[in-house]
Structure 1
Amino acid sequence: MRPFWKKHGLVMLGGICQGFGMGVFLFPQSIPSGGAGGIAILLNHFLQINMGPALWIVNFSLMLLGIKYLGKRFTLWTLIGITMTSLAIDFFETHFVITHRNLMYDLVIGSFFLGTGIGILMRNNVSNGGVGVVAVMISHGRNILPGKPLFYMNSVIFLITAAVISWEIIFLALISQWISTTVIDLVCRIDIPRSYSFGWRKKP
């Protein structure tokens, strides 16, 4: 039972880190947190769905893609992660208000926490939902780190979102993705003693 609760705690931590980066820094500046965030913005634009529910719907819908390929256990852990992230976003948006904002500070700090949270989840073989599910599938299939495929897929979604909403967001979104995916790969590469390992990948 100890490994279960250890993983559960780390998944919760990953979701909280994501929610903190999104709710406190990125979303207040209208910076998409990823491909799912870009799709959620489009849903908000066309269907007038609030960002919180829209993001959860997108994450949950894409998460279903992972059931057949990665199994029910993976899907359950991902559901826990995306739910914790959504709850954290609502909490931080409600209780943390920054009166004097700086766009670049919000961009860098928010992207750092976003990448840290996703990295923690992926080290535990748990997706952050959305296109992260597809990134995990690609990383498993090709035995590569998930940062690059996540970056490329998100970039395509950002281009579509920018074309519909505003071209100004594309630059902020791409910078955010570069920072966060770099942090993801750094977190996945950290050499942690086996007794404290998250279990992302064993060395030969």
Structure 2
Amino acid sequence: MHLLEKAGAILVGSLLLGIGVNFFLSPFHLLDGGMIGIGLLIHYYFDFPTGLSMIFMSIPLYIYAWYYQRKLFIQSLHGLLISSLCVDWLSGFQISWDIPVYINAILGGTFIGLGIGLMLRYETTTGGTDLLAKIIANKLAINPGLIIFGIDVCIIFSGIGIVGMTTFLYSGLTILFVAILTSITVKETV
């Protein structure tokens, strides 16, 4: 795999992720799972930048990866930094579409799933729970999209008190599409 090809995948994947978060989820206070979901919860509750929250919350997993999965650490650190930067950079371009919330949930999940899947295909992650899913997938030979889905369900359940039941249900639709598109996109390499 060429370095330029991998760099392009990280950039495109990060932009897809930033578009999904800022154009489709944030305007409706929808959640994703994983570190993105935790970053969104922190953003909704404290108005702290989502991408920066993703970096801070990923530090413990990167410490683990440094000691036990050094190659994955090296391959994923730039994915975390670029995707977090794209999420925060694109936050200034939020657009509220005049389409139903469930369509925003589906489109947001689709963009995020494509971005994460593209990055996983090129052996990098957006950090946090994607990194955790990649570590588990490497050890158990399981599709990382399925692991991400399980983690995502736990994250959005933790946010039900902040976003309410209706938004929680739409967020469930988001993570379903994230999981489907991630699984489809990385299927060739697992």
TM more than 0.5: yes
Aligned residues: 190
Residue 65 of structure 1 is matched in structure 2 by: 64
Residue 154 of structure 1 is matched in structure 2 by: 152
Computing the radius of gyration over CA atoms, which structure comes out larger, 1 or 2?
1
Structure-2 change in CA distance of 1:55 and 1:101 (3 Å): farther
2:176 to 175, 178, 181: 178
Structure-2 change in CA distance of 1:20 and 1:160 (3 Å): same
CA distance in 1, matches of 2:158, 2:179: 20
Deviation at 1:139, TM superposition (A): 0.6
Deviation at 1:102, TM superposition (A): 2.8
Residue 35 of structure 1 is matched in structure 2 by: 34
Residue 126 of structure 1 is matched in structure 2 by: 124
Structure-2 change in CA distance of 1:64 and 1:19 (3 Å): farther
Provide, for residues 81-114 of structure 1, a one-character-per-residue CA deviation record: whole Å limited to 9, x for no partner.
Answer: 1222222223333235345343122111111010
Retained in 1: the 8 A contact 2:55–2:81? yes
In structure 1, the gaps of 5 or more residues are: 191-199
The two structures, once aligned, show a CA RMSD in angstroms of 2.3
2:167 to 160, 166, 169: 169
Deviation at 1:63, TM superposition (A): 3.2
* Structure with a larger share of its residues in helix: 2
Structure-2 change in CA distance of 1:130 and 1:10 (3 Å): same
CA distance in 1, matches of 2:178, 2:40: 19
Residue 74 of structure 2 is matched in structure 1 by: 76
Structure-2 change in CA distance of 1:77 and 1:12 (3 Å): farther
Identity %, equivalent residues: 19
1:115 to 107, 113, 116: 113
